[in-house]
Amino acid sequence: MSHHPPLDHPQALAALVAYQDGAIVSRVLLKTTGGSVTVFAFDAGQELSEHTAPFDALVQVLDGEAEITVAGVVHRVPAGEALRLPANRPHAVRAISRFTMQLTMVRA
């Protein structure tokens, strides 16, 4: 496992994870008992199948475009936009194009 320096100076979030053909790559930036912040890079067509989480989360798309389904409602989320994923509501994520996102999970 490689060691990454902490975010102790300004950095472009989308540059913290590299795209990989046919894969989803993630990097945890911050994790505490109060929640976590993770950056993901999805290759085009990659997806996370429908699942639920016990905590609210906020997705912020940094680059590209995602299709995010929340409780059966499909949302197209381009770079620069954000979407809340409510606790205990099923959601799924699919890459319309290669995209990066920041996922902030808040433990209540």
Eight-state DSSP code of residue 72: T
pLDDT at 73: 98
Q: What is the CA radius of gyration of the chain?
A: 13
Q: Encoding tokens for residue 62?
A: 């940094």
Domain annotation covers residue 10 = no
pLDDT of the chain, 108 residues: tens digit per residue: 444 556 788 888 888 899 999 999 999 999 999 999 999 999 999 999 999 999 999 999 999 999 999 999 999 999 999 999 999 999 999 999 999 999 999 997
Beta-bridge partner residues of 92: 69
Q: Per the domain annotation, does 91 fall within a domain?
A: yes
pLDDT score of 99: 96
Q: What local confidence, expressed as pLDDT, does residue 42 receive?
A: 98
Report the pLDDT value the prediction gives residue 4, as an integer from 0 to 100.
53
Alpha carbon 21 to its chain's center:
17
Residue 62 sits in which domain range? 25-106
Residue 50 lies in a domain: yes
- Domain count along the chain: 1
31: Cβ contacts below 8 Å, ≥ 6 apart: 37
Indicate whether 81 belongs to any domain.
yes
CATH number at residue 34: 2.60.120.10
